[in-house]
Structures are given as C-alpha cells and as structure tokens.
Amino acid sequence: MALNDKSRNEAVLKAITANRLRDGEVIFLAPGPDLGWVERLDDAALFEDATTAETVLAAAKAKAEGEQFAVDVYAFDLRVTDGQRVPVKTRERIRALGPTVRIDLGKQAAA
C-alpha cells in the first residue's frame, strides 16, 4: 500500500474499517461470510458497488457491536492501482499505514 494517491483514473472501491474495542487497533473487514476482521488493508474485503458495501456494513456493524469486538465501524473509498490499495482520503491512508511523521510506528513499521 502506498501513501500517495496517484490513481485518479482507477475505479473507486469500498472497504470497511473500525477500531478494535479492547485496544483501539485499526482493523478492516475480512473477505468471506463470517464477517471477521484483519489488521491490514491488503487483506481486507473490497466491494465494487456501494449498495453491497452498505448491506455488508450494516451486518458487520451489528455483529461487531453485538460481540463487543469493534467500534466506529464505517466504509471508506479506495482505489487499486499497480496492485496497491490506496484509500482516496489522506485520513484513511494514514489510518491504514500509521503517522507520516513516525514511519517506525503503526502498520507501516511492520510492512
């Protein structure tokens, strides 16, 4: 995953994210029917159409909140270019990587 979004012409996809309740870790909804969660955007489920994303978001939110697993569950936009998943907004790029001023910290540190 890259910080810079240079893929303006690529299709906009959606992914679903949240923070894990017990430790606040940024997590992403995993592919598959179980509505599980992963820690890396590269492993997250991607949705091509907004309607599907909304439907899955509602189910994931209900399950995650019901199980006290995640908070602040929402969907965000991203593009895939040259095989890299790049969130459209800087905010989501920073959440997916870590602070740009401390590249030794966050998910980018373990990349």
Partner 1 sequence: MNHIAPGRNAGVYSYDDIDRRFVAERVEQFRAQVERRLSGELTEEEFKPLRLMNGLYLQLHAYMLRIAVPYGVLTSRQLRKLAEIGRKYDKGYGHFTTRQNLQFNWIKLEDTPAILHELAEVDMHALQTSGNCVRNVTTDQFVGAARDEVVDGRVYAEILRQWTTLHPEFTFLPRKFKIAIMGSDADRAAIRIHDVGVFAKRNERGEVGFTFYVGGGLGRSPFVGKLVRDWVPEEDFVAYLEAILRVYNQYGRRDNIYKARIKILVHELGQEKFTQEVEEEFARLRGPKYRLAPEIVDEIRRRFGGPAFETLTDEPESFQAAKAANPDFARWVAVNVLAHKVPGYAAATISLKPAGGIPGDATSEQMELVADLADAHSFGELRVSHAQNLVLAHVRQDELFTLWTALEANGLGTPNAGLIGDIIACPGLDYCALANARSIPLAQAISARFADPARQQAIGELGIKISGCINACGHHHVGAIGILGVDKKGEEFYQITVGGDPTLTTAIGDILGPAVTADETVDAIEAIVEVYLSNRHDGERFIDTLKRVGHGPFKERVYAAH
Which residues are near partner 1 by CB under 8 A? 5, 19, 21-26, 65-68, 71-72, 88-91, 94-95, 98-102, 105-106
9/51 with CB nearer partner 1 = 9
Give the Å distances, CA to CA, from 12 to 7, 16, 49, 88. Answer: 10, 14, 9, 8
Distance in angstroms (rounded) separating the CA atoms of residues 68 and 101: 32
Q: What does the chain come to in residues?
A: 111
For residue 81, the minimal CB distance to partner 1 (Å) is 16
For residue 32, the minimal CB distance to partner 1 (Å) is 24
31/62 with CB nearer partner 1 = 62
Question: By the 8 A CB rule, do 18 and 99 touch?
Answer: no
25/43 with CB nearer partner 1 = 25
For residue 5, the minimal CB distance to partner 1 (Å) is 8
Q: Which two tokens stand for residue 72?
A: 């602040």
